[in-house]
Structures are given as C-alpha cells and as structure tokens.
Amino acid sequence: MMRRALIVLGLVAVLGLVAWEVVQKERLLATGETVVLGLAPLDPRSLIQGDYMRLEFAIARRWPQDDSWPRDGVLIIAPDRFAVAEFRRLDRGEPLASGEHRLTYRIRKGRLQLGTNAWYFQEGTAAAWQAARYGEFRVASDGTALLVRLLDAELRPMGPR
C-alpha cells in the first residue's frame, strides 16, 4: 500500500513539474520581449535526431575566449539600427538603458551558448531553412530566452511552403 502511494506521489510530482515548465514557456511566449539575433547555421542533418540545423549566434563569436567570463551568466544586448541585437556588456546588476535586454548564456566545451543551439524541422524540408540568417526569440526580464522562429536576410519569417 505504501509503495503504491509513493509511486502515485512521484507520478503526480513529475507531471506537476512538467506542467509548470509548459506554463512558464507559454507565459514567456505571450509576454516576452522580441529579440532578433544574427546566426550562423551549421550541420543541417542528424541521423539519430532527424533533420535539424545546429545554430551558432553572431554574438557568440565575439566573446573573449578566456577565463574572464563566468561559466553561466547574463549578457546585456540592444538592437542595432537594423533591429538585430548586439552585445553591449556583461550584466553586473546595473539598471538597463532604453532598448536593452538581458540574455542568459552558458559556456560549454569552449563555446558560448545562447538560448538553444538547434532548430528542428520536418524531415525533407532542409532546403526551406538554408537561407536562415536570424533567430527570433522571446526574452523574459531575467534573460530567459525561447527561440520562436527563424528569419531570412530581410527579417521575414521562414518555413516550408
């Protein structure tokens, strides 16, 4: 009897955590600020995971690859004259200027990662994604980012037709 109760309690806890994550992502999609980052797509195929595009963002190519940055942290970004976000500085807790946003990052295996590092798409539609030049994110005030869609060189949403 006790074992069954523990199993049910564990199942309820896991489902509750999953539901909480879904609610948080939906809230971010609905209320997050829109931020566009320039990207450099890599490796458009994975045999195990199906079709996907490995992503690297332009901002990630400009960080000093030394030990001066914390392994996990927050960047301050702001849009340029074309509405594409550029790195301004590391977040040190100071107030944001007009137009600035926080964006969390992680350094893993010597690479700076922002949001996600992959875009998954339906098998057989790789050609439709080859012209991707930007990623559109929804960003929360704490810097949490969710990649919403890819954009072409003219900042138009992309996808198979």
Q: For residue 60, with 0-12 CB atoms within 10 Å meaning exposed, 13-18 middle and 19 or more buried, which class applies?
A: buried
59 and 17 within one domain: no
Q: Is 161 domain-assigned?
A: no
95 and 40 within one domain: yes
pLDDT for 157 equals 93
Q: Cα(142)–Cα(137) distance, rounded to whole angstroms?
A: 14
pLDDT for 50 equals 63
Q: Cα(57)–Cα(60) distance, rounded to whole angstroms?
A: 5
3 and 51 within one domain: no
Domain that holds residue 15: 1-31
Read off the pTM: 0.79
61 and 6 within one domain: no
51 and 3 within one domain: no
pLDDT for 39 equals 83
24 and 78 within one domain: no
127 and 99 within one domain: yes
Q: Is 97 domain-assigned?
A: yes
117 and 55 within one domain: yes
Residue 13 has pLDDT above 60, yes or no: yes
112 DSSP β-pair partners: 107
Q: Is 74 domain-assigned?
A: yes
41 and 7 within one domain: no
**Mean pLDDT in residue range 66-73:** 81
